[in-house]
């Protein structure tokens, strides 16, 4: 019941900016949304549904870079994944760190590994790589050496 | 007084996760902390893309030496989710038993080191002494004391022998009186209360903001546990309860871990009784294109793996998130405003790596001259316990 309500709420809030909803298995739902709606949907999940931000996965799919934000709704064991597809010519998305501190480290990691710029991140430096790592070399990119 | 910086870390050969804490102190009080990680970054996620799906199970087993089965457990859950298959029931019970044995030895390890930091070296010796029988069980069941290689996508890699069950049960039951002893030592001792109660408090809102997991969250009264919330393996087939405590301090974290030892033993005993006979492997071969998310409640909290397949022989992407990635950041909240002598136990309370604290050194910010090292800080912590002991007349 609650699962359907959450998905319905995401649908209503994102309207045309929601391109796909996949029910992969009983407790795993993937919603592909437009990046301009991400802060709003994340705020809904984190503040209204009291979801726990589990982690984000950055993926280079060759055509684009995808960021998957995994939110866990622990009361019903559900993981709602918000998928944002970023064009390689404009790897930029709004940072979620001002909304929730727990996004700070993973955004730093995706920034250094895939070269995504998180707008509004308070401290976008290297997390895992050393400070003098060559600029423009992103280890998790398909075209990286 | 001018601010001084205490660098803690970054690493030590024994450490499971190298990290570097810079404590900014004003006199005795910690006023700020910088946390740096990445000193031993191995880019396992990238290596996974060059291994076959089966080999990745062994690869992720090498992420952590203490909770070595947690990552393979979450990984096989992710592959099972990707495939949408039903794993043979016997394999589910085997996975559960291995996961819980690991929790027992990991919690005992933490308890021992926490004891050492507080100046209770007897607790340290006890904890490590009673961890041995658990490792003996691992050796009998899996052939290894660490890195058990029992997980396999779609099943378990090795069967358990029924003839071992009575010995396993006897060994585990013999541990219960020892755990009672720990419970008494921690919960009834006024000195331990004085050192740990109200120290390094994390509120429910802190837990939410930092997304902390596992005993760190449960000690602040946040009842999250993947085993209960999103049941996998055999966790929904046995009776057990999620342990929580309201304090949010170091004391609560210790209590949660001690009480979880009993639950783990209970889960294993029930699994041994209920384990059905039958196959242990569903014999999966090809992994079709798709994606899967697997979780496991490791001793330190939720481990989450995301696996994407493009239909090839290796994962197209494998994202791994260990619980300490979330928990270590919460130290920023827990340690500020506390004293240096309490910093050791607070930083250790989320159960990150302890050995790093041996690398502590107090350095004068201006001259760069070393004033104190890690040994001195442990000594500071132990001396505080001694002072409280004599004050309470418990010498």
Domain boundaries along the sequence of chain A:
2-94
Q: How far is CA B204 from CA A143, B207, B210, B221, B246, in A?
A: 43, 5, 10, 7, 9
Q: Which residues of B touch A110 (CB under 8 A)?
A: none
The mean pLDDT value for A35-56 works out to 95
What is the C-alpha separation between B193 and B187, in angstroms, rounded? 7
Is the separation of the CB atoms in B151 and B73 below 8 Å?
yes
Q: What is the largest CA-CA distance in chain B?
A: 70
Q: Within chain B, where are the H helices? A: 44-48, 53-61, 70-83, 89-117, 121-142, 165-187, 190-196, 204-210, 215-218, 226-229, 250-274, 323-327, 331-335, 340-349, 374-391
What is the C-alpha separation between A18 and A10, in angstroms, rounded? 8
Amino acid A113: pLDDT: 92
Is the separation of the CB atoms in B360 and B13 below 8 Å?
no
**Per-residue model confidence as pLDDT tens digits over B273-301:** 999 999 999 989 899 999 999 999 999 99
CB contacts under 8 A, B 112-171 vs A, are none
Asked if the model's pLDDT at residue B356 lies above 70, the reply is no
Superfamily of the domain at A2-94: NADH:ubiquinone oxidoreductase Nqo5 subunit (3.30.460.80)
CB contact under 8 A, A78 and B209: no
What is the C-alpha separation between B94 and B8, in angstroms, rounded? 39
CB contact under 8 A, B308 and A53: no
Does residue B74 belong to the interface with chain A, where contact is any CB pair within 8 Å? Answer: no
CB contact under 8 A, A54 and B231: no
Which residue did the predictor score with more confidence, B94 or B28?
A: B94
Query: How close B47 comes to chain A (CA, Å)?
Result: 10
What is the C-alpha separation between A109 and B57, in angstroms, rounded? 24
CB contact under 8 A, A24 and B41: no
Amino acid B30: pLDDT: 85
Q: Which residues of A touch B229 (CB under 8 A)?
A: 72, 74-77
Share above pLDDT 90 across residues of chain B, in percent, rounded to a whole number: 56
* CATH level 3 topology of B4-40+330-391: Enolase-like; domain 1 (3.30.390)
Amino acid A85: pLDDT: 97
Among A67-81, B250-264, B374-388, where is mean pLDDT lowest? B374-388
Judged by DSSP in three states, B346 sits in: helix
Is the separation of the CB atoms in B6 and B362 below 8 Å?
yes
**Confidence class of residue B370 from pLDDT cuts 50, 70 and 90?**
low
Of B81, B224, B304, the CB nearest to A74: B224
Residues 6+ apart with CB under 8 A from A82: A31, A33, A38, A41, A42, A45, A68, A69, A71
Among A73-87, A120-134, B331-345, where is mean pLDDT lowest? B331-345
Give the residue from A72, A78, A81, A129 with the most B CB atoms within 10 Å of its CB, the best one to mutate: A72
Of A53, A68, A104, the CB nearest to B306: A68
What is the C-alpha separation between B140 and B119, in angstroms, rounded? 34
Closest chain A CA to residue B333: A101
Judged by DSSP in three states, B263 sits in: helix
Does residue B290 belong to the interface with chain A, where contact is any CB pair within 8 Å? Answer: yes
pTM (2 d.p.): 0.91
Domain boundaries along the sequence of chain B:
4-40+330-391, 44-325
**Per-residue model confidence as pLDDT tens digits over B18-51:** 677 788 888 888 888 887 777 777 888 999 999 9
Of B43, B224, B292, the CB nearest to A139: B43
The mean pLDDT value for B247-253 works out to 92
Of B38, B210, B224, the CB nearest to A127: B38
CB contact under 8 A, B209 and A102: yes
CB contact under 8 A, B81 and A25: yes
Chain pair A-B, CB pairs under 8 angstroms: 85
The mean pLDDT value for B118-138 works out to 91
- The CATH classification number of B44-325 equals 1.10.645.10
Of A25, A52, A129, the CB nearest to B84: A25
Mean of the per-residue pLDDT values for chain B? 87
The mean pLDDT value for B144-161 works out to 93
What is the C-alpha separation between B379 and B42, in angstroms, rounded? 34
Give the residue from B319, B334, B336 with the most A CB atoms within 10 Å of its CB, the best one to mutate: B319
**Confidence class of residue B315 from pLDDT cuts 50, 70 and 90?**
very high
Q: Which residues of A touch B210 (CB under 8 A)?
A: 101-102
């Amino acid at each position: 019941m609650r699962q359907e309500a959450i998905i319905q709420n995401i649908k209503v809030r994102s309207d045309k900016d929601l391109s796909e909803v996949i029910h992969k298995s009983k407790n795993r739902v993937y919603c592909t949304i437009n990046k301009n709606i991400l802060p709003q949907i994340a705020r809904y999940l984190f503040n209204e549904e009291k979801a726990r931000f589990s982690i984000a996965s950055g993926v280079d799919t060759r055509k684009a870079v995808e960021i998957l934000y995994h939110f866990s709704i622990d009361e019903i064991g559900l993981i709602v994944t918000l998928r944002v597809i970023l064009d390689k010519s404009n790897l930029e998305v709004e940072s979620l760190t001002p909304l929730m501190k727990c996004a700070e480290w993973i955004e730093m990691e995706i920034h250094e590994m895939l070269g995504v710029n998180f707008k509004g991140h308070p401290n976008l430096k290297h997390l895992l790589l050393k400070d003098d790592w060559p600029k423009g070399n992103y280890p998790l990119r398909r075209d990286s050496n | 007084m001018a601010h001084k910086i205490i660098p803690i870390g970054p690493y030590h050969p024994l450490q499971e996760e190298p990290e570097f804490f810079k404590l900014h102190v004003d006199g005795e009080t910690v006023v700020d902390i910088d946390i740096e990680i990445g000193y031993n970054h191995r880019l396992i996620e990238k290596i996974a893309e060059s291994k076959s799906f089966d080999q990745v199970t062994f690869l992720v087993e090498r992420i952590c030496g203490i909770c070595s089965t947690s990552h393979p457990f979450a990984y096989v859950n992710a592959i099972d989710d990707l495939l949408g298959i039903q794993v043979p029931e016997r394999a589910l019970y085997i996975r559960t038993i291995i996961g819980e044995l690991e929790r027992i030895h990991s919690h005992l390890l933490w308890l021992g080191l926490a004891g050492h930091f507080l100046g209770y070296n007897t607790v340290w010796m006890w904890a490590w002494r009673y961890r041995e029988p658990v490792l003996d069980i691992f050796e009998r069941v899996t052939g290894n004391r660490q890195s058990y290689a029992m997980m396999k996508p779609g099943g378990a890699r090795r069967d358990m022998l029924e003839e071992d069950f009575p010995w396993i049960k006897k060994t585990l039951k013999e541990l219960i009186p020892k755990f009672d002893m720990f419970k008494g030592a921690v919960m009834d001792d006024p000195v331990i209360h004085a050192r740990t109660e109200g120290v390094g408090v994390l509120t429910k809102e802190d837990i939410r903001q930092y997304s902390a997991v596992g005993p760190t969250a449960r000690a602040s009264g946040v009842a999250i546990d993947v085993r209960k919330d999103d049941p996998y393996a055999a966790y929904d087939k046995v009776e057990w309860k999620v342990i929580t405590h309201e304090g949010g301090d170091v004391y609560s974290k210790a209590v949660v871990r001690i009480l979880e030892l009993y639950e783990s033993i209970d889960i294993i005993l029930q699994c041994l009784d209920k384990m059905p006979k039958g196959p242990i492997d569903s014999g999966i071969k090809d992994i079709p294109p798709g994606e899967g998310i697997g979780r496991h409640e490791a001793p330190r909290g939720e481990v989450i793996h995301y696996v994407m397949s493009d239909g090839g022989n290796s994962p197209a992407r494998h994202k791994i998130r260990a619980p300490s990635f979330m928990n270590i950041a919460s130290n920023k909240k827990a340690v500020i405003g506390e004293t240096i002598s309490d910093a050791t136990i607070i930083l250790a309370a989320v159960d990150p790596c302890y050995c790093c604290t041996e690398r502590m050194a107090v350095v004068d910010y201006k001259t760069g001259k070393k004033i104190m090292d890690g040994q001195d800080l442990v000594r500071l912590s132990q001396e505080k316990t001694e002072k409280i002991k004599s004050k309470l007349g418990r010498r």
